[in-house]
A and B are shown apart, each in its own frame.
Chain A
Amino acid sequence: MTQQEHTAPITDPIICRCEEIRKSEILQAIEMGCRSVTAIKKYTRAGMGVCQGRTCARLIEQILIASGISPQAAVARDKARFPIVPCPISAFNGSDKEDQVDAPSI
């Protein structure tokens, strides 16, 4: 039996996996007046990491709705801009020197 088994459950999970933003930070942002996914993003950096909010936007939406904010308001996101997925700079200069692997990094 490990020592861990005796400890009480932790209750503050990470919400944004990339930027490692916890639920308490999201709730604090709501308390400070954030009312949408995009407002939370600007206040906490949740959704600004490498995956660009692909996993956490939905979770933040749920936290906002659970806090009593209407779904239609909560879902407001920043307009997607080019390029909609992160891609290597070499994609733009025509150079393929970077291509040592079959798929470019993000």
Chain B
Amino acid sequence: MKCADILVIGGGPGGLGAAIEAAKAGASVLLVDENPRMGGQLYKQIHKFFGSQTHYAGQRGFDIADTLIAEAARAGVELLPQTRALGCFDEGQFALLSLANQDATRLRTMKARRVILATGAKENAVAFPGWTLPGVMTAGAAQTLANIYGVLPGKRILILGSGNVGLIVGYQLMQAGAQVLGIVDVLPSVHGYEVHAAKLRRANVPIYLGSTVVEARGETRVQQVIIGQVDACFQPIEGTHQTIECDTVLLAVGLSPRTEIAAMFGCDMTFERRLGGLMPIHDETMCTSNQTIYVCGDLAGVEEASTALDEGRLAGIHAAAACGYGDEARHARVAALQSSLNTLRSGMHGQPRKEAKNDILQLAHRKGIVGETI
């Protein structure tokens, strides 16, 4: 049976950061991801990132993915794309399913001493009548079609949700030649960064605030959408309905952590609305209530690619240290990463996430969840 010090599940920014640091510390690392290539959602991010140089500011997501994958390969990480983790058994055994059809035996088992879960997040939905019609899809689906496959999901597009995903995807679809008919959000103000909203406003895209999609109608595909204003309880107000003729509705209403594998490992969970809902409790070393399991990235609270990368690096350093790897420099490295995360979690959008993260850490302490000291 194949053995590794550390198994990392999920090859997005969090998983790549974790694998890179653990391998650099000297651990043998296996990184698995179900997609044909590593990089997670970074390949769909064709806009330039903000922040500092250490967070690849000014670079586009797909370039950052290439950089990280190359760094992981140089560090000696064994990369297994098109491989899905199906579960765990006693004594640290894992079942991995290869999705590449050239492999004769597709279900394989392996052993690892520590596991870092970087399974990311999934998109939330809103259920309105007609949301099952073809043409209604998540913003991520539209982003995948346009930015990975070069195919527009539709010609006339309405977006529900004014968070960064809705705003960015809206702008990207306009760049690709689609008509964005509007952004709808129940909130009284735009939820995402103003810099993204400004790009849409400049292009005269209406932003319908305090409104929601009441119904999508069509025979075999969306043909029209009824939107209406909402009251203080987010319920539609009679008489405010208007009809928009469109062929596509995108749902950009937030993300929630993908917790299935963490739940299987018995990691204690909590519900933290500010970080996307149900998620595993973890301490500052990213260790969960199961001492062999570490978490990072959106699974450990939905934030951003840059925070996922830093958290992944933290998890990688600590999991490697728990296996006996790493030198004295790791303490300074951990301190630098924690200060970097603090910087990322500041300002109007970052502060609530910082507070939520602190609450998770305190909950971990109360529950006696403490990773191995390094």
Hey, which bits of chain A sit against chain B, CB under 8 A? Answer: 2, 4-5, 9-15, 17, 23, 54-55, 58-59, 61, 71-72, 75, 77, 79-85, 87, 90-92, 94, 96, 99, 101-104
Cβ-closest chain A residue relative to B105:
A94
Interface of A is mostly: loop
For residue B271, which residues in chain A have a CB less than 8 angstroms away from its CB? Answer: 71-72, 75
Cβ-closest chain B residue relative to A17:
B132
The number of residues on chain B lying at the interface, defined by a beta carbon within 8 Å of a beta carbon of chain A, is 44
Tell me how far the C-beta of B209 lies from the nearest C-beta in chain A, rounded to whole angstroms: 21
Check if A91 sits within 8 Å of B106, measured CB to CB: yes
Check if B277 sits within 8 Å of A84, measured CB to CB: no
For residue B89, which residues in chain A have a CB less than 8 angstroms away from its CB? Answer: 82
**Cβ contacts B30-55/A at 8 Å (1 or 0 each):** 00000000000000000000000000
Check if A82 sits within 8 Å of B86, measured CB to CB: yes
Check if A75 sits within 8 Å of B106, measured CB to CB: no
Taking each of B125, B127, B224, B243, which has the highest tally of chain A beta carbons within 10 Å of its own beta carbon? B127
Given known A80-B263, A84-B86, contact A94–B104 (CB-CB < 8 A): yes
For residue B125, which residues in chain A have a CB less than 8 angstroms away from its CB? Answer: 55, 58-59
For residue B85, which residues in chain A have a CB less than 8 angstroms away from its CB? Answer: 84
Q: Give A96 to B100 CA distance when docked, in angstroms.
A: 11
Check if A14 sits within 8 Å of B127, measured CB to CB: yes
Tell me how far the C-beta of A86 lies from the nearest C-beta in chain B, rounded to whole angstroms: 10
A–B pairs, 7, beta carbons within 8 Å = A9-B129, A14-B131, A23-B127, A83-B87, A83-B97, A84-B87, A91-B97
Nearest 4 CB-CB pairings of A with B:
A82-B87, A10-B129, A83-B86, A99-B101
Q: Give A23 to B131 CA distance when docked, in angstroms.
A: 13
Check if B264 sits within 8 Å of A82, measured CB to CB: yes
Hey, which bits of chain B sit against chain A, CB under 8 A? Answer: 84-89, 95, 97, 99-101, 103-107, 122, 124-125, 127-132, 214-215, 217, 223-224, 226, 241, 243, 256, 260-261, 263-264, 269-271, 273, 277-278
Check if A103 sits within 8 Å of B105, measured CB to CB: no
Check if A5 sits within 8 Å of B101, measured CB to CB: no
Tell me how far the C-beta of A48 lies from the nearest C-beta in chain B, rounded to whole angstroms: 15
Check if B264 sits within 8 Å of A5, measured CB to CB: no
A/B pair count, beta carbons within 8 Å: 100
Check if B95 sits within 8 Å of A82, measured CB to CB: yes
Check if A96 sits within 8 Å of B127, measured CB to CB: no
For residue B95, which residues in chain A have a CB less than 8 angstroms away from its CB? Answer: 82-83
Looking at the complex, which one of A2, A75, A87 makes contact with B278 (CB distance below 8 Å)? A75
Given known A12-B129, A102-B101, contact A92–B264 (CB-CB < 8 A): no
Cβ-closest chain A residue relative to B85:
A84
Q: Give A104 to B122 CA distance when docked, in angstroms.
A: 21
For residue B130, which residues in chain A have a CB less than 8 angstroms away from its CB? Answer: 10, 13
Looking at the complex, which one of B107, B215, B224, B264 makes contact with A79 (CB distance below 8 Å)? B264
For residue B84, which residues in chain A have a CB less than 8 angstroms away from its CB? Answer: 85, 87
Q: Give A90 to B145 CA distance when docked, in angstroms.
A: 30
For residue A10, which residues in chain B have a CB less than 8 angstroms away from its CB? Answer: 129-130, 215
Given A10-B130, A71-B271, 17 additional A-B pairs, CB 8 A: A5-B217, A9-B214, A10-B129, A10-B215, A72-B270, A75-B269, A79-B263, A81-B264, A82-B87, A82-B88, A83-B87, A83-B95, A92-B107, A94-B107, A96-B103, A101-B101, A103-B99
Given known A17-B132, A58-B124, contact A96–B87 (CB-CB < 8 A): no
Given known A9-B215, A55-B125, contact A87–B97 (CB-CB < 8 A): yes
Q: Give A9 to B217 CA distance when docked, in angstroms.
A: 9
Tell me how far the C-beta of A81 lies from the nearest C-beta in chain B, rounded to whole angstroms: 7
For residue B278, which residues in chain A have a CB less than 8 angstroms away from its CB? Answer: 61, 75, 77
For residue A82, which residues in chain B have a CB less than 8 angstroms away from its CB? Answer: 86-89, 95, 264
For residue A81, which residues in chain B have a CB less than 8 angstroms away from its CB? Answer: 87, 264
Tell me how far the C-beta of B163 lies from the nearest C-beta in chain A, rounded to whole angstroms: 16
